[in-house]
Amino acid sequence: MSFDETMKRAAVVFAAATVCALVNTVAHATIPVSKFAETYQPAPAVAANQSQVVYYREGTTGQHASAANVYVDGEFHASLLPGAFTVLCIAPGVHGLNAALNDAPRYEGKGAQPRTSLEGGKPYFLKVSENGTLLPKAVSRMDAEKELANSQRQVHLLSRASIVVECNYTAPVMVQEHTSSGDVAFASDKTGYSAVRADGRDVLTADSDFLAPVDRINSTDHDASDRAQGMVRADGGEDAG
């Protein structure tokens, strides 16, 4: 073998080794912090016509590892690195849900999906299986949220799952209080509805839209020299004092 042929072969081997090194680096590269969003917060309730899925992966954010591709009904939704999660909402029913590790370039994970039945208004917590199985690992909410405590939402790729919709979160129930001056509405040192004076009932009637439904009426008169306070609560809870 001539010197030129030896050099050419060495150059080919070096080039091949360089390409392999680059591919390996890209496959295990750390995604910049800017590609992650907020830290996990307890998932609020969704409307009855939606099912909410929190898909997550254990580990430390920024850890070197291949990504796990999350698929929904055969379409790509997210690519999770360790310590990351994604939240999706879909219509209740039976759906294909899974996460696949190292399935590029054929992306076979989306074509071999197990079917999962989801009920409306409920949250589901699924964890990536690190052993390479395509079956999603269902986790209880208590255990999942412990593991999700320091996880961050992965946002570096857009979902292409057409069935995924924006989550319709239900508003929390607000407890309201209304306080009226006791010497206007209530007789001194009396409790219950019978303690409400006739003119005091007019005051309460004027506020009926705010107060309804009234569950209890209390009045207090701590000292004859003090101004008595009457409290009407709409939530039926015990008085602080």
Higher pLDDT, 1 or 28: 1
pLDDT, residue 40, reads 95
Q: Is the pLDDT of residue 139 over 70?
A: yes
Beta carbons within 10 angstroms of residue 13's beta carbon: 10
Q: Is the pLDDT of residue 164 over 70?
A: yes
Q: Is the pLDDT of residue 86 over 90?
A: yes
pLDDT confidence of 59, banded at 50, 70, 90?
Answer: confident
pLDDT, residue 52, reads 97
Taking CA atoms, 201 is separated from 125, 142, 189, in Å, by 52, 48, 17
pLDDT confidence of 134, banded at 50, 70, 90?
Answer: confident
Beta carbons within 10 angstroms of residue 163's beta carbon: 17
Query: Comparing C-alpha atoms, which of 126, 85, 79, 73 is closest to residue 102?
Result: 79
Name beta bridge partners: 196. 186
Q: Tens digit of pLDDT for each residue in 19-31?
A: 333 334 334 444 5
Residue 188, SS3 per DSSP: coil
Residue 89, SS3 per DSSP: strand
pTM recorded for the entire structure: 0.59
pLDDT confidence of 168, banded at 50, 70, 90?
Answer: very high
Whether the CA torsion 219, 225, 226, 227 is positive or negative: it is: positive
Summary mean pLDDT of the chain: 74
